Amino acid sequence: MHNKTILITGGAGFIGSHVVRLFVEKYPDYKIINLDALTYAGNLENLTDIEDAANYTFVKGDITDEGFINSLFDEYKFDSVIHLAAESHVDRSIKDPLAFVRTNVIGTMILLNAFKALWKDDFADKLFYHVSTDEVYGSLGETGLFEETTSYDPNSPYSASKASSDHFVRAYGETYGMPYVITNCSNNYGQNQFPEKLIPLFINNIINHKPLPVYGDGNYTRDWLYVVDHAIAIDLVFHEGKQGDTYNIGGFNEWKNIDLVKLLCQQMDVALGRDKDSSEELITYVKDRPGHDLRYAIDASKINKELGWKPSVTFEQGLKITIDWYLNNEDWLNSVTSGSYQTYYQKQYS
């Protein structure tokens, strides 16, 4: 069992906020330090319900700032790190790849070095948990599944930077004996996701009667997992996963983009009380994403068999929870879509 001062990086972001909440609420004896630079994707509004908890501390800071990170590790003597901070959007990585190298590769290296310097050769009861993505495996054809043994074959600057960070984590395990675990998860959806990713972007556009920009022919396939189920899997792997191992996490839930968008449109029409098919009329096919991966699909049987994890909600249930959340949190949506979001949207979709 690990000791209990845990650094969670990127905890003000989408997945990170759900992980922070789960750990703060479930483990009152743990000390949870949430480190986040509060980039455009980080938002403390995601955590107002737990911000006053006795076992929770928020620290604003950048994982690429080596001096700051070293002094933070010195101050808190973290027993474990759950590392989620990253630049996470593929389209942004196509426009500014270096930003992804800085945060995802160099930032991860700085955390690894700080953890190594703190514990030197005595890593008993310590753990570096690296949260990664299925995109490191590249693209599947019409059939097949990503397994933990699938070769890395990243295609976007984002996935290349995540693959690189995965390799460094593994290398620190092999070379310095640092206890680590890596999980590679499929596409998450749910409350608090920044509306640059497919589902929240399209929810926001439907609310505002704006076009739904489907890339290419829409026949790209992704596996979708409800974010809370990802957080539950992270908790399980953190406590019961085998050190030096990797686990794939997925929803057993493949959708072609166009079919998912049509389902979303139907559910939005019902939720908004609009005429049947009115949201579908907003679908607009636009220029494809360069290097667009055709299909991701996860074989999550290892985490299922070894740790007993499986998703707790169906896609239809998860999507309904998500839609209801966005419709009931108009202030959150309005605040994150004002300012720099408008500039981003213009550049990406004009």
Residues identified as active-site: 134-135, 158
Instruction: Categorise residue 138: left if φ over 0, alpha if ψ from -120 to 50, beta otherwise.
Output: left
Is 198 a residue that touches ligand DAU (CB under 6 A)?
A: yes
C-alpha pair distances (Å), 152 with each of 71, 159, 182, 272, 300: 34, 10, 14, 42, 17
Stretch that binds ligand NAD, among 9-17, 117-125, 312-320, 336-344 (CB under 6 A): 9-17
Cα gap 297→162, rounded to integer Å: 18
- CB-CB neighbours of 60 under 10 Å: 12
**What 3 state SS string does 68-111 have?**
HHHHHHHHHCCCEEEECCCCCCHHHHHHCHHHHHHHHHHHHHHH
Site string for ligand NAD, 119-138 (x = CB under 6 A): ------------x-x-----
8 Å CB contact between 19 and 11: yes
- Tell which positions 42-71 bind ligand NAD, by CB under 6 A: 42, 62-64
Is 107 a residue that touches ligand NAD (CB under 6 A)?
A: yes
Q: Which member of 6, 21, 31, 88 binds ligand NAD (CB under 6 A)?
A: 88
Which of 20, 87, 23, 85 has the alpha carbon at shortest distance from 47?
A: 20
Instruction: Categorise residue 75: left if φ over 0, alpha if ψ from -120 to 50, beta otherwise.
Output: alpha
Is 194 a residue that touches ligand DAU (CB under 6 A)?
A: no
Least CB distance from residue 78 to ligand DAU, whole Å? 25
8 Å CB contact between 325 and 267: no
Is 110 a residue that touches ligand NAD (CB under 6 A)?
A: no
Is 257 a residue that touches ligand DAU (CB under 6 A)?
A: yes
Is 179 a residue that touches ligand NAD (CB under 6 A)?
A: no
Is 62 a residue that touches ligand DAU (CB under 6 A)?
A: no
**What does 304 interact with, of ligand NAD, ligand DAU, none (CB < 5 to 8 A by kind)?**
none
Q: Which member of 162, 163, 298, 323 binds ligand NAD (CB under 6 A)?
A: 162
**What does 10 interact with, of ligand NAD, ligand DAU, none (CB < 5 to 8 A by kind)?**
ligand NAD
Give the single-character DSSP code of 276. T
Cα gap 203→326, rounded to integer Å: 8
Indicate the residue among 80 and 165 with the shorter CB distance to ligand DAU. 165
Q: Which two tokens stand for residue 125?
A: 């009861």
**What does 296 interact with, of ligand DAU, ligand NAD, none (CB < 5 to 8 A by kind)?**
ligand DAU
Binding region for ligand NAD (CB under 6 A)? 9-10, 12-16, 36-39, 41-42, 62-64, 84-88, 103, 107, 131, 133, 162, 185, 187-188, 194
